[in-house]
Structure 1
Amino acid sequence: MATVLDVTTTGLRVRFTGSDRLAACCAGLDVPFERIVGSRVMTRDDAVASSPRLPCPGSWWPGTLRAGSWGVGERRQLWSVRRGAYVVVVYLSGRPFHRVVVDVADPYQSHRRLEAALLHSKKTSPRRALRDRLPPRLDDGVDPTGRR
C-alpha cells in the first residue's frame, strides 16, 4: 500500500507515497483530534456511491484507482483507494475536507486504533466547539470591541 495512516498523540496523519502521491496531487494531511468526528469501515462501492463525482484535482480509473480531492465546498473529500474491497472512512468537521477515504492493509485494525485514540483524547483533553473559536459576528448583538 502506498497510503500510510498513522495515529499520533495529537491526531491523525495521512501520508501518500510513491505513485499515490502523484495520483492524489497531495502529500497527505495532518488532522487534530478536535476535527475528527468518527470513523468507520465501508465497502469500496458504498464509499464511492456516497461521494461526489467531480475530481478536483484527482485521478481515477474505474475499478482500479480513485485518488485526490473529490467535490467542492462542504462535500469535499480526500481519497486514496486502489483495488481494496474495504476502506477506512474518517469523518471530519471544518474545512478543507469533510471526509478522508483511504485503502490500507488492515482497515478494521486501523479503524479500531483510531477510535480508541479518539476516545482517549476526548477523555483527557477538554473539548471546545469550533464556534467558540470564531470572532463574534456583528449581527448577534455583541459588539466586537466589547462596548455596548
Structure 2
Amino acid sequence: MKKLPTWFFATAAIFALCGMIWGIQMSASHDHTLSPAHGHLNLIGFVSMSIFGTYYALTPMAAESRLAAVHFGLAFVTVVVLTPGIALAIADQSEALAQIGSVLAVISMALFAFVILRHGVGCTESHPFHDHEGRPKPAE
C-alpha cells in the first residue's frame, strides 16, 4: 500500500515546515523559551513520522494492516497533543496535555515495535523471486 507511507511523509513535511517557521519566529524575536516544544515538534513530528513512513514504504504488508492505520492516527494525535502540551507546561499553565502526549508517544512507539515484530522489515508480499516469508528464493 503506497497511500499510508505517503500520509506519513506528507504529514512529516507539514510538521517540518511548521517547525521551521516556528524556529524562524523564535530567532527573529530572540525568545527561545519554547525551544523544547519546537524540538519535540521536529523530532516526533518530522523525524519519527518520516521513519514510520520509510518503514511502511519498505514493508507493504505491514502498511496494509489495520494496525498501521491506527498507528498513523495515534502518531498524528501524539504530535498535535504533545507539542502544545509542552508549550503550556513551559508557560506554567498546565502539564496535563504534555503528560497525555508523552503517554501517547510511548504507546505509538510500542505499537510501532509490535508492527515491526509482527511483520518484519522489507518486502514480505507475494513476489516471484521471494518465498512466503519474503526471503529471496535460491537460484535454480
TM-score, normalised with respect to structure 2:
0.28
Report which of the two structures shows the higher radius of gyration computed on alpha carbons. 2
TM-score, normalised with respect to structure 1:
0.27
Q: Bigger relative contact order, structure 1 or 2, given CA contacts below 8 A and separation 6+?
A: 2
Give the number of the structure whose residues are more often helix, by fraction: 2
